[in-house]
Structure 1
């Protein structure tokens, strides 16, 4: 702790070495003052910003002559030579009307003008962050062209580009100051939970589409770069406070607040440091979709009377065949065969609990980060130590809904960088805290007061009695049976329920509890060198990376029951760029090689050309081709996660053996086959002795009336172990500017092979899965035995990770326009079209999960100088309806129109900005993720203080 106290002392104690004091003013070409302009002494830690009248005073630790650099968003940077301590500095900055001259780094790993980028790139600047009408800058990313946001929780939003989007978006990478934000255990980004504070953002750059040639396997569908401000360049104390209200029909009106502070100081020209702290607290969007999961997707029988499985209801996943229960009771001598014959041959489910009863629906997120920056020499070499901590509560939706309660994640980085190179190493670790699985919470609260066997036995007994003795209809018998079996049910809100709930969420054993346990690590290092100062004929870069995972879920999520699982991957790349034809033509070629532990290596090449036309080179045409690949994630390979209605099972060969489960056998035929009342299966049963879930559904629909014909519909699973997927990506684009109108057009065509996805299968606990087994062969036939297992519920459902051998294609188009009107008005609009081509009939059980609207339109109008100190922004977006596929649920997402607005007022004397805004101003609630809560309205007022 001593080092932390030392750092705080450094921040809050100031030592002055000033020898000169320089004052001046900064104005624009119309002689209007520019407030908030950055004034920096070149080569020194000294710096400040202009006040509301454009004036500044800066203390300098040396005597003239020296140079000051003045910059502001939307203006060209200017350097001024100061020759005297008494010199009155008057600076005029020229408007920078074109966004095409903005510098970006992401596309080529080297600084270049955005108009020269070989691929499509979107950018959010400090100016964009200040004027966004969204509650946070991260929410505001949704207004960028190409971006689709998937909201699992108010504080957990997943960014996606170019289709195939889920909350667990393993095809998209997010880097903050060069560090991958992905969870070591889950392999995907947890929104901005450990990201960056909006008052510390320097820039945000988005590369939609495949970027594997430079960034490796995870940058398969896009990559987001967030860069923070340097304490050498931006010093002082910055703070903000937001206070507001969320409004949703299900949750009502609830207050929320969000505040943060940034402290930065350059102590000398060699040493600077900064620290950030942010905290957000609110009430989440209530998830209250009580439709039956199967009916939402229009498959299966109407289960509302007996086998209901509600979208946001948990515990009703405990389901079994009622005839099978009767057979088991006959075997125990409880009922006669004649009584058992009354029971219908289909499943019933237990009564579950609503999600709102299993979580307090509170969201919190705290982020802390600090960094120490050293410049030991006169050149640009900088050594950085950075630590980031993020913790809080949120809801994550994967195969189930999970409440991440007290979730904690941290990252630590050491980096050395200079003009032409960087070398960095960092590690990420996380702790699940008191997180829990809501499905298993519902299941095991039920089991606290009555076991599944007892509940189903009482249900069957009451059904038989009401039918045989009371003459009840099937519907009446089901109602009586459920009321009887539910006797003693724990009621939400009671002390008995709360005690059971607390016991379950503290227990990591899935048979009795629901706690998620995680203490996984990820170690990563990468390096890059640019030879541009050594080799003159072209710009050449080389680089590489290494990553090691240490998975440790204590057997709760992965098959790491006895020891952690280690997995590594590495890669190396090179790139060459050459400008020709008076620098109008830029050619780029890149290639990267990546190798992962369980798979062969892959090469990812990219070639591109950019041509700048026009006298001012203001019209640029670009074209690129690249291949990308994605290694199966650690989940795809090593997961062994029981989610209630199925087990998610990774396909690494050693994983199939490591996973095993002992299951009861209730059928008399099955007990004769296995020689007892239970049997043990492993992952090999899932991949090599199972039926497709689709064919089992078809079987179930017909089995009651024609079992022979029903059995003929069964199809044995025939899938391979998961392997890397690949993409061939073609892209064309055009950027240009005519007077004050700038535009960016792009189109892409992607061809995917060996696409990774999920397939649900049903493995019989005895017998041998066969295509169309013939029931006439009798009970000694292994295929007939497997049908008996399917008929009596002696099965285990699995969700497997595999590849489809069907080629998938996607095509898309995007257009973005921005226009500067008179009197400081700005308007912008963008449109995206996305479509994919996949012949489902060739692989009926495979889900591609494109999850992307075909049409999206976004637009905004703003003015940051409507009149003195007053500005506003109004933004709107629309998408049409689209199909959602995931391991949690399938169904349609409705079309939505969302309008956000904000007004802001600057108070120069207080160096403050007051902003009042509203998200979803129209009030029509909408959904982005099937299973998550409807998104309502959000109102806020904020106060930001700058140095």
Structure 2
């Protein structure tokens, strides 16, 4: 059946019919306990022919090969054994030895070559299928937060942002995420889309995460860290797997809501030459409602509400950002806004992911493999940037063609996105208001009513006459019109069909050069921005620009038993609008002790980050400010919509308007901080250029014998120094006058004749960050797993050196994580508990600055395996204490999540 199903989605390949010539039978046992091991994998070395042990640890392998040949026997958590088969009908008994520690696992990402975590020259965190089974989190992606030094910021139920070592945002452009070698980020909006449209949990092979700068091998944007998610190869992992997960999300504002998560994976090797797989995942649930209606002023929480503040600006209320000073006794007044819950349709969270792959091995083994991979995803989520965006029917597709051998790979892929029916909730409210009454008429009616009555309450009631109330047909009609209109002057829809083209190549000379291991490689990337002028200044056609890079690495082992490993890398990158960057990395790793169980490492490396597509080419009126990118060819491309000019300080008198060109924000503006301080001064905002980091790290990994216990320890410390840190700067552009030359520009400030802009530039301030982490893992009480880790993160920045700059470190100074469980407490039954604590910290962003309170989170799960039906049942929950918390100001409060899952044949 599976063969027929996959043939429908695969191209025509002829398969080789195998005639069994050799039969190998045997058993697989645990070296420590002597128990027979069900589910162990047995395969012919370098081929797709294989089987697994049954419930009694026995196997029968029939192959077409004549002896001699080699079989590989493997199982998660055990060391792989190779057995030489020398005769037909041979019987074997295989003894598997459990990995002493997780540090024995093999990783590839740290040096682009296989090596034990123990011997890696840099910090590495890893998650595999066994860890995924044991995680207490609702998904493997959520489970990443239990890794040492890893933060996850929850934007919504389906959109979560991974980060390491500070400077986190939801877009998180300083952290790179790769799925099977493809950059899993939106090419237009730049945010890594988490696992909204990523990988099915059934198809995850490993997740490797490198905290810290990694530009020497991986180029731009591998600045704070990089994460690699790799899927299972259909030659190695065949069969049909299925998972169904259902449960509840519980939140005070939203109540209890069900969610469903269904996945299926089908993989089949038609022969030693051709294999294919397909995975399909569907998730549906309800987002966390955002109902924080506290007043905000100047980007921070402020006292007062709508009844006490005439210029009230509620956090999760939109449309009340439109405000003016009516002068005299009236003062500053804002329009009446709409709550987010009335603007997000049904808060539906949805994700549909389809991944198909064709694998072809011309020689019938893994010496050479051709892979064609297609990924498609569509979904709904909520994204918080400068505003809150309802990402609805968002579509992302990736197609990759890769040629891979033992020592090389060549890959190229294209990413295509479509914003679908996504819209900006702030502009939805602003323009719904303008549908039933223009701003000019509303403020005139307010002023007139106040002059008659002297009452702000009466004035607002009069001005709000005719207001469209949520739930009425009139409101719904206006909402539908506004959210389908891509012109932000009148609508709120995001219109985007941006594409990204990328190519990578790498070659390892290990079979050619004996002196040391040398690698060379390179990459090329081309962006084609296509938002039709709704996000970027591409109203007259797509904006294309490109980047490329080349690198080389040498790795050499010295001393007796190769105890000392030296690694040196260097990379050169060039982007179209900027000068080239050179990124070196040098590291030393030394293995001490009789069994090389004490490993010390030291590294120096640099990283850089190119300005994003938005930093360079955005041209967006976000309401509170106009965002204008600083690419040289973007400055004159952006022209604002008509802006009202006052007469003698009386807004809207005479109806005069003006427009502003983007260049004025960079060349004729006041710094916002100086105006707020009462001493207006010209803004200095050079055009943005790449930012750089110089990183130093020391670390130790080891295995310590403490009586009958063996404790693994992983310790690291780092120091980062930043140069030309990219930042957004708030400036005020006067409608008339030249800043610094005459009094007209100051008059414009007094009359309110100015517009706020956010420009993209680099801070001249000295910024550094430093931190440390330690992780301990052991077994206690006769087989219980116990792990604890601690992370410290801090940054230094002199605010006085750059008053307009917000560092946005957005990371707690202290984090502690604890894990306790047993994979087989009694026959087929296991459990796991994860607890996390972090202290309070300041969150800074264009949306709002606020303190995030400290929190303690408890997750737990129990699981039961039923071998007869190849099934695992899991019952668990996240945030079991029930205390809601905010990941950032403005997002929905995160409540509890409970789930029950059934996984078959995985």
Give TM class, smaller chain.
Answer: over 0.9
2:539 aligned partner: 561
Q: Does the 8 A contact of 1:295 with 1:302 survive in 2?
A: no
Alignment partner of 1:195 out of 195, 198, 201: 198
Give per-residue Cα distances to partners, 1:379-430, cap 9 Å, x unaligned.
6111110011111100011000001100000111011111111111111010
1:248 aligned partner: 251
**Number of matched pairs:** 892
2:505 aligned partner: 527
Is structure 2 residue 487 aligned with structure 1 residue 485? Answer: no
Q: Does the 8 A contact of 2:671 with 2:730 survive in 1?
A: yes
- Deviation at residue 794 of structure 1 after TM alignment: 2.0
Q: Distance in 1 between matches of 2:659 and 2:253?
A: 44
Is structure 2 residue 615 aligned with structure 1 residue 636? Answer: yes
2:441 aligned partner: 454
2:309 aligned partner: 305
2:739 aligned partner: 769
Alignment partner of 1:27 out of 26, 29, 41: 29
Q: Which runs of 5+ in 2 are unaligned?
A: none
Alignment partner of 2:215 out of 212, 217, 240: 212
Give per-residue Cα distances to partners, 1:76-113, cap 9 Å, x unaligned.
11122345554444322112112222111111111111
Q: Does the 8 A contact of 2:326 with 2:650 survive in 1?
A: no
- Deviation at residue 628 of structure 1 after TM alignment: 1.4
Q: Distance in 2 between matches of 1:365 and 1:433?
A: 14
1:777 aligned partner: none
1:408 aligned partner: 395
Secondary structure of 1:576's partner?
strand
Q: Does the 8 A contact of 2:48 with 2:272 survive in 1?
A: yes
Q: Does the 8 A contact of 2:17 with 2:271 survive in 1?
A: no
Give per-residue Cα distances to partners, 1:605-638, cap 9 Å, x unaligned.
1111001100111101000011211111111110
Output aligned runs, 1:367-406, within 5 Å.
Answer: 367-377=353-363, 378=365, 380-406=367-393
Q: Distance in 2 between matches of 1:210 and 1:25?
A: 46
CA gap of 1:887–1:813, structure 2 versus 1, over 3 A, is same
Secondary structure of 2:399's partner?
strand
1:691 aligned partner: 670
Q: Does the 8 A contact of 2:15 with 2:274 survive in 1?
A: no
Q: Does the 8 A contact of 2:295 with 2:303 survive in 1?
A: no
Q: Does the 8 A contact of 2:629 with 2:759 survive in 1?
A: yes
Q: Does the 8 A contact of 2:6 with 2:278 survive in 1?
A: no
Give per-residue Cα distances to partners, 1:925-946, cap 9 Å, x unaligned.
1111211111100000000001
Q: Which runs of 5+ in 1 are unaligned?
A: 324-341, 468-476, 700-712, 771-781
Alignment partner of 2:647 out of 651, 668, 687: 668
Q: Distance in 1 between matches of 2:116 and 2:39?
A: 24
Q: Distance in 2 between matches of 1:404 and 1:898?
A: 28
TM-score (norm 1): 0.91
Q: Distance in 2 between matches of 1:586 and 1:723?
A: 36
Q: Distance in 1 between matches of 2:313 and 2:174?
A: 30
Q: Does the 8 A contact of 1:662 with 1:678 survive in 2?
A: no
TM-score (norm 2): 0.95
- Of residues 68-77 and 871-880 in structure 1, the stretch that sits farther from structure 2 once superposed is 68-77
Is structure 2 residue 348 aligned with structure 1 residue 362? Answer: yes
- Deviation at residue 300 of structure 1 after TM alignment: 9.8
1:941 aligned partner: 900
- Deviation at residue 662 of structure 1 after TM alignment: 4.2
- Deviation at residue 64 of structure 1 after TM alignment: 5.0
Alignment partner of 1:314 out of 308, 314, 318: 318
CA gap of 1:862–1:10, structure 2 versus 1, over 3 A, is farther
2:417 aligned partner: 430
Q: Distance in 1 between matches of 2:888 and 2:175?
A: 17
- Deviation at residue 653 of structure 1 after TM alignment: 1.7
Q: Distance in 2 between matches of 1:407 and 1:267?
A: 35
Q: Distance in 1 between matches of 2:75 and 2:408?
A: 27
- Of residues 831-840 and 685-694 in structure 1, the stretch that sits farther from structure 2 once superposed is 685-694
- Deviation at residue 16 of structure 1 after TM alignment: 6.8
Q: Does the 8 A contact of 1:594 with 1:601 survive in 2?
A: yes
2:525 aligned partner: 547
Q: Does the 8 A contact of 1:122 with 1:145 survive in 2?
A: yes
- Deviation at residue 208 of structure 1 after TM alignment: 0.3
- Deviation at residue 675 of structure 1 after TM alignment: 12
Alignment partner of 1:150 out of 153, 158, 161: 153
CA gap of 1:670–1:678, structure 2 versus 1, over 3 A, is farther
What is the CA RMSD across the aligned residues, in angstroms? 2.2
Q: Distance in 1 between matches of 2:24 and 2:17?
A: 15
More helix per residue: 1 or 2? 1
2:297 aligned partner: 294
- Deviation at residue 133 of structure 1 after TM alignment: 0.3
Q: Distance in 2 between matches of 1:263 and 1:10?
A: 16
Alignment partner of 2:691 out of 710, 714, 725: 725
Q: Does the 8 A contact of 2:261 with 2:283 survive in 1?
A: yes
Q: Does the 8 A contact of 1:506 with 1:513 survive in 2?
A: yes
Q: Does the 8 A contact of 2:16 with 2:272 survive in 1?
A: no
- Deviation at residue 54 of structure 1 after TM alignment: 2.3
- Deviation at residue 727 of structure 1 after TM alignment: 0.8
Q: Distance in 1 between matches of 2:764 and 2:648?
A: 38
Q: Distance in 2 between matches of 1:751 and 1:678?
A: 46
CA gap of 1:11–1:100, structure 2 versus 1, over 3 A, is farther
Output aligned runs, 1:214-293, within 5 Å.
Answer: 214-293=217-296
Secondary structure of 1:129's partner?
helix
Give per-residue Cα distances to partners, 1:257-294, cap 9 Å, x unaligned.
10101100111111111111111100010011111222
- Of residues 452-461 and 185-194 in structure 1, the stretch that sits farther from structure 2 once superposed is 185-194
Alignment partner of 1:38 out of 31, 41, 52: 41
Q: Does the 8 A contact of 1:607 with 1:626 survive in 2?
A: yes
Q: Does the 8 A contact of 2:294 with 2:301 survive in 1?
A: no
Q: Does the 8 A contact of 2:348 with 2:380 survive in 1?
A: yes
